[in-house]
Chain A
Amino acid sequence: METEILRAEDLKIAYGERVIVEGMDLSIARDKITTIIGPNGSGKSTLLKAITRLIHFQEGSVFLEGKDLLSFKPKALASRIAVLPQIHTAPADFRVKDLVSYGRMPYQKMLSGKSREDERIVEWAMEQTGVAAFRDKSIYEISGGEAQRVWIATVLAQQPQVLFLDEPTTYLDIAYQLEMMQLVKRLNRETGIGIVMVLHDLAQAMEVSDHVIVIKKGKKYAEGRPEEVITCRMMKDVYDVQCEIMRIQGRTKPLIAYAPV
């Protein structure tokens, strides 16, 4: 694939004796939205962490831009890919702008301050995510949805080619979830940044993804365009859930109707 930026071959990831992911081959496109779905405990977050080098993998190899992922220096890696972990914390008094500025760390030396370039990109990241208006507030003073956008701005300031998001909507109410999905889609379309995310909500995965990868018990079950992959059969096989996939006039993507409970 010509637009491929990251490739994993025969990946095995284990915590001690417990094997989480095995025999995984993966190809991530440079400018698409790729979504990894799967039930709880299927290993999707673990996979995301391994291909972004947050955790070790035991076997196989990962290539970023054709080079061994393990050969990158930490800062060089951090300026190519950025990952927003599911759980992140900051001291309550940190100001929005300061937090976003930390996204520039991969470009700074130990003692150097912010360059004019850094300032410009921090501004850009705050504008893109719509957090510029409360740049001087502490993250304690803003809502959960706004805080999540601030974190997106922080990883965006790393100017990565690909942004990895681990369940970016998990702790948000539905309005903020939709807003987050819109933001992700807009960032991808307007800035050309590649997105790889783990999602729980299949309707959201259907709506925003260009490519969906389904994981079942640590192995790849299927991948492809969302409407090809998210099917009644997959829902039965992977989640053990009955559903109908419906097409509705006026909407480009099909909807999922779960069996009545």
Chain B
Amino acid sequence: MMSKIVRTQANFLYPFILIFGFYIVAHGHLTPGGGFQGGAVIATGIALVIVAYGYDRIKSWIKKSTLTATESIGLLCFILTAFIGIGTSFFYNFLANSGLLFGDRVSYGVNPGYLNTAGTLPIMNLAVGIEVLGGLGAILMYMMSYGKEVDK
């Protein structure tokens, strides 16, 4: 566990890092970035609290098994989204221009970028984001669990 200054800073920054990560995931189809990059940013939030509070306290807050399950669920969401479109073809974008979720049409020409477009792409970005946050989080937790042994 680090000093009170570091912990206060971490407490302050943690929600902003999460929001920034989810922003990158959600705007994956509009701006640079996407599921992987956003998930990695969220995982840095986990890294920050691990560093600030130490592995011993974090392991009761964030469970490794939860993170690995999150990883599997993210992957499943991705492949199931691909499977839903298989009536036409695998990975078919059945939501694009449908008027439903993420289904707005985009007119030709310059525009500021509309969030509610692109069909299955944002959904797949979200799935990848969930997967990467689980996977990288689990990797961090496993690495820190060995780091503790070396300390002693």
The answer on A and B forming one complex is no
Interface residues of A (CB under 8 A from B): none
Interface residues of B (CB under 8 A from A): none
